[in-house]
Structure 1
Amino acid sequence: MEQTSLTSSKTTAPWDVVTEPGPVLVAAIHAGHTIRGSLAPWLEIGETDRLREEDPLTDFFLTAGDTIIRANRSRFEFDLNRPSETAVTTNPEDTWGLRIWKPDMPEREKELSLRLHRQFYDQVARRVDEMIEAHGRILVLDVHSYNHRRAGPDAEPDDPQLSPDIDLGATTLDKDIFGGLLERFGDALRSHPLNGRTLEVGTNIRWKDGGHFPEWLHAKYGDAACVITLEYKKVFMDEWGRSADILALQDLREGFLAAVDEARDWLAEHPAPGQAQRKARMPA
């Protein structure tokens, strides 16, 4: 049975989970910036470069979910969108040539990070089990952001044809089942302008996979979980600095809220096979 609960809101917690009854889970697993103090002696990357590769402010969209998950720790302490083999790495080849950790980082520190990685996936599995039991089909939205001025703050941005304002990652999504949901979701995002202009919303443009988190969900739950990754181009902030356009963020969130409402309607209109019978057997 679904219940309302809060797992931590302490600043030292590796992540926060808030649950309410309902079929929509929204996660911001790269929103965090904190790194535990015991790792400080082995950290090589500077704070500014680290922030550029994280997804700040993606937690701004979490309120649309029934269950919301925010990672408080940096993706470089343990990357929740990677399998355990590469979630903690001292090899720059795994991190776009960036040197994140000194090679002599102790094994005990790596193991502590990997233990947290395992705990996160165990907790998510328990919650998703509950949601599917209650609703038959659920929607998981994995919110990220991406840089589009890699060449420098004054350089030309990336080709807009290959860099939509929002790229929907739907590689694990069965179009025969959830194609209508995906279409309505994208249309709702486009229907809310950003600073007066229509958003460019693409599907699987920047990346051909969504990372470990959505792939794990699909492998474990199949078509009971419709998983969409949203990659927001960092048009709402200066990716080379520390400033953000709050009005742009509000425009984007309005579109996101509208898209989630459309998805809720679709889920209600297309229950999982046998869900009506399961609901009839549930105690009042």
Structure 2
Amino acid sequence: MQKLSIEDIVSKIKKEEKFHAVAEDYSLTIKIDDYVHYACAAVHDGHQFRKELWDNCIHTQYERWYEEDPETKNMVHSNPIVIAGCDSRFEYDLNRDPENAVFATAWGKKLWHKPLSEEHKNKSLEKHANFYKVTHALISKLEEKFGVVIVYDMHSYNWKRWDREVPTWNLGTSNIDNNRFGNDIESWRQRLSEIKFPEHIKSTALVNDTFQGNGYFLKYITQNFQNTLVLATEIAKIYCDELSQVIYPEIVSTVRTQLQSRLKEHSNAFYKRHS
């Protein structure tokens, strides 16, 4: 993996170069093993948190981890194109617009002992902007090359805090064209529901049950690109103990292996239908 400036990453994408890179400021990673009509993203995978913010942050390391999406990059890493955030959403949230990406309260709790300085805010917002420069370059190139593109926007959620039964998988579709892409949504939901877990874990998949797909990443791509479908795909945190911060690597491995074949099959059917 190379360490590259944002400008160099964008340049490589424009030239259709294959590469693995981490941004110079370590805010994002991207790998392109091949230029294909689908990409995977894990915008909330990151847990890094700038040291200069530590003493000012009221939330504990565990509280931050609890609201992040650990292992979501790992779940899709075997696919040809993967972009992921490295920083915690508590520093800046890639799934919120720039005006709201650096927040003062998080999940009902004040985040900072003292309000952040403009300098600290701007440092975070610059990394947010850089992520979207790379995203824009990537989707531009893929649409130019293939005409239609599909992006699998991977997230996870804390299922134990719900007071009702919730699905293993949730698709958020309220901000995409359901008339145009309805068949693709349903076929992805169906494929997810068929993923086999160890016996004690059910596999269910619903649409707009726990979340509706209101994230900025999906909205940014959908509003800027007419021929790219973004599927906001949430897995319940059945792959870890969200209360004790223990990851179950065998479950992560199961998800990664089964997603790889299903992603390829689904994206190929999507491309055949819409190209």
What interval of TM-score do these two structures reach, taking the shorter chain for normalisation?
0.7 to 0.9
Alignment of 1:50-69 (within 5 A): 50-69=64-83
- DSSP-derived class of the 2:159 partner: coil
- Are 1:251 and 2:264 an aligned pair? no
Q: Within the alignment, does 1:158 sit opposite 2:201 as a pair?
A: no
Which of 1 and 2 has greater Rg?
A: 1
Give the corresponding residue for 2:172.
169
The AA in structure 1 aligned to 2:220 is W
Q: Deviations over 1:176-235 (max 9, x none)?
A: 33222222222222222111365110011112333111011111113x111101111111
Moved >4 Å (runs of 4+): none
Structure 2 Cα separation of the partners of residues 218 and 9 of structure 1 = 25
How many residues are matched?
259
Aligned partner of residue 225 in structure 2, secondary structure: helix
Amino acid at match of 1:139: I
Retained in 1: the 8 A contact 2:171–2:211?
no
**1-side partners of 2:207 and 2:262: how far apart?**
15
- Find out whether 1:203 has 2:207 as its counterpart: yes
1:194 pairs with 2:197: yes
2: CA distance, partners of 1:34 / 1:48: 13
Corresponding position of 1:219: 223
Q: Which amino acid aligns with 1:112?
A: K
1:5 Cα deviation after fit: 2.1
Q: 1:96 is matched with which residue?
A: 107
Q: What is the alpha-carbon distance in structure 2 between the residues aligned to residue 68 and residue 99 of structure 1?
A: 33
Q: Which runs of no fewer than 5 residues in structure 2 stay unpaired?
A: 1-14
Deviation at 1:64, TM superposition (A): 4.6
Quote the Cα distance in structure 1 between the aligned partners of 2:175 and 2:266: 17
Could you say what secondary structure the match of 2:82 adopts? strand
Matched, 1:2 2:16: yes
Provide the C-alpha distance between the structure 2 equivalents of 1:262 and 1:179, rounded to a whole number of angstroms: 17
Q: Which one has the bigger strand percentage?
A: 2
The one-character-per-residue Cα deviations of 1:132-161 (angstroms, maximum 9, x if unpaired) are 1011111111111111223xxxxxx6311x
- Any residues of structure 2 matched to 1:6-45 within 5 Å, and which? 6-8=20-22, 13-19=26-32, 20-45=34-59
Q: TM-score, normalised by structure 2?
A: 0.87
Aligned partner of 1:265 in structure 2 is 268
Q: 2:120 is aligned with what amino acid? A: E
| Separation of aligned partners in 2, 1:87 and 1:65 | 28
Distance, in Å, in 1 between the alignment partners of 2:144 and 2:87 is: 30
CA RMSD in angstroms, aligned pairs only: 1.9
Q: What is the distance in 2 between the residues matched to 1:103 and 1:211?
A: 27
Unaligned runs of 5+ in 1: 151-156, 273-284
